[in-house]
Structure 1
Amino acid sequence: MKTANKQKANQKNQHALICSFLAAFFLNLSALFSQNEKPKDTANFIYYPDKIMVRANLSTQSDDYFLKDKKGTNLDLETNNSYKLFLSIDYKFIGFSYGFYPKFFGGNKDEDLKGKSSFSDYNFRFFLGRWLQTVNYSKTKGYYVANMSEFDPNWIKGKDPYLQFPDFKTMQFGMSTSYLFNSKFSLKSITSFTEWQKKSDGSFLPSLIYSYNTIRSKSDDLDGKQKEFDLKLAAGYYYNFIIHKKFYMAPNLSPSLGVKFMKDKSRDSGVETVEKETYFTRNLDGGLKIGYNSDRILFGASLNFSVSSYNEDKNNVISNDKVYGLLYFGYRFNAPGFIAKPVEKIDDKIKML
């Protein structure tokens, strides 16, 4: 018991330390460096070559797994969280964000009924000319059965506890490689916000997405570990409508097809079984962003959706459908010399690609 409490305390301390460090970093830099330098202006874009962009993104995105049984009762597993908070920093061609569950916003108050959930996410992004490379690692733990009434007709919402899986854990390491076809469209103007697009335009953005996932579940007699390798090819299209110079509306749609290689290893009452399967996956992602941009401050909102599924067998379909909103607020300030000089050298080489 003491060990479990110690681990939880360490996790909280790590999250608090990271958040405190980022907050102190942003505040100190914005106070130390002047705001006199003007952004570089061209016919199609406004560049902010010496500005660091920091943002806070509040998302309603949830983590869930949905097992559709054509002959029986569906199973809906969800995490106990209301919001996700992502703190981001972008400069020139490189960006980083850290995501977690912000309990100080009042989420997860019903842990006595749904159990506890934890989440952490680390994302790096690199703009290399017209190429975009992302690297992501995320970890989620603690799920409950959201559709309890379908399993127990006597179950009362808000009074009876949900069936919980506190040791159900998912980890994902993923990467994506994308290419921007239209040089007159700035993907940065709606992602990292290190540029601003002056004229409405769009571009085809194909992407190769690859990820390695592990799903771990434990109970009294059952210990299971599922490993997945996903490979997807997406045909994305993005457009940015510029409204009255400082406002924008940017829809995007990205259908994709892929293949999933799965290895399921489980031990039930001392008996170990190993299964290997290959599935074809279907995915559709999209959304709409709206916002305001100035030389220093920007803010906005987006509505996003993600639909993915594959047929496990003739009777079962595994799906993961999400619809979520996001609010963001960002601020630009001058980059200090010890950051600007080495990054500028690398950036000059990238522009030659």
Structure 2
Amino acid sequence: MPRYLLIYPIRFSLLGIFLCCLLFNVWHGHSQQDSTRIVTYTDKIILKANIDTRADALLYRNQDEGERLELTPNSRYRLFLSLDYEFIGVSVGLVPKFLGANSDENLKGKSSFTDYQFRFFLGKWVQGLSYSKTKGYYVRNTADFAPNWTEGTDPYVQFNNLTNSHYGMSTSYVLNPNFSYRNIIYQNEWQKVSSGSLIPTLYYDYNIFSFDELGISSKEKFFNLRLSPRYFYTHVFHENWFVSGNLSPSLGVRFSKEETMESEAIEIEHSTYFTRSFSTGLNLGYSSEKIIFGLNLTFSSDWYNEDSNSSVETDQLYGVLYFGYRFQPPKFIENTFKPFSGN
């Protein structure tokens, strides 16, 4: 039986358990409110470094012909540096050479990656803004297209001018006031008592996927809109340690415009797709007055059908290692933010 047919029963079984947990915790969260359950560190500056293994991979499958194309950039690790203070946070992501990124450019080609993220906290609301750009991909399953190809010796098929630009936004709302979303995502709070919450999130993003090689110039512009009833639960098993898990199914729609130019002839095609997504993660973290660190493991899958025979899917399993430090801000920063912080 094909793998994708096995995935659906598992996903919907998890979704049933997920929805039952949501109903209980939404009721439980509104019936008990205790501000002493959460310690805030928003008055401290938090500097943090993340190292993750996530890659912007893409899988294209043609079921009739039994073909699949796996595209991925040549970047083993990504480094994010972030700063959070009061109601605002910012992070910058890149692929540094010292982490061994692109060390095998002779085989997989050269890739570049940049990422900028901003976040704003307005009570229970969290607003995110992001921009990222990835350039340079190689065909991970080159052996399927070149029978005489030898791994480790022959170069992969490469698309050095293949570029993916992403402009994204997200709006989240934390339903349970006794659950700290900031504790597990941004580490500017500390949750003292185990709790969970439904965090419905609306994602909306604009993407440009461009290709200019072999005499063919193609550009796909698409807008994604999807809603996810995400659920998070944090178990505090020590004064300074916690473990947190989450489930995030979602449904959405993609509006696409594809422009292709070959031999000075331009073709334009408009399409609309219904998208599905599922992700889950596990986070083990430590927090003290000044030091924070942890490990986060995440699996995510996004897919949609282009037509009755072709589908596009992105499956990712990656880890994130983070380390941060909290400290008192300089007086001039405190005075600048004081009118907005309510302190």
TM, length-normalised to structure 2: 0.88
Q: CA RMSD in A?
A: 1.3
User: 1:1-353 to 2 correspondence within 5 Å?
Assistant: 43-72=36-65, 73-348=67-342
Post-superposition CA distance 1:23-64 (Å, at most 9, x none): xxxxxxxxxxxxxxxxxx962122224311111100010111
Q: 1: CA distance between counterparts of 2:213 and 2:42? A: 53
Gaps of 5+ in 2: 1-33
Q: 1: CA distance between counterparts of 2:101 and 2:112? A: 12
TM, length-normalised to structure 1: 0.86
The answer on whether the counterparts of 2:197 and 2:232 sit within 8 Å (CA) in structure 1 is yes
Query: Counterpart amino acid of 2:63?
Result: K
Q: 2: CA distance between counterparts of 1:75 and 1:230? A: 22
Q: 1: CA distance between counterparts of 2:213 and 2:38? A: 56
The answer on whether the counterparts of 2:42 and 2:87 sit within 8 Å (CA) in structure 1 is no
Q: 1: CA distance between counterparts of 2:335 and 2:171? A: 27
Q: Helix, strand or coil: the match of 1:43?
A: helix
Q: 2: CA distance between counterparts of 1:209 and 1:42? A: 29
Gaps of 5+ in 1: 1-40
Q: 1: CA distance between counterparts of 2:183 and 2:42? A: 13
Q: 1: CA distance between counterparts of 2:56 and 2:131? A: 15
Per-residue deviation, 1:342: 2.4
Q: 1: CA distance between counterparts of 2:100 and 2:219? A: 33
Post-superposition CA distance 1:225-267 (Å, at most 9, x none): 1000000011100111111110000101111000000000010
Post-superposition CA distance 1:85-136 (Å, at most 9, x none): 0001111211100001121112211101111000000000111000000000
Q: 1: CA distance between counterparts of 2:77 and 2:147? A: 30
Q: 2: CA distance between counterparts of 1:329 and 1:178? A: 25
Query: Counterpart amino acid of 2:128?
Result: T
Aligned residues: 309
Q: 2: CA distance between counterparts of 1:65 and 1:142? A: 13
Q: 2: CA distance between counterparts of 1:244 and 1:130? A: 26
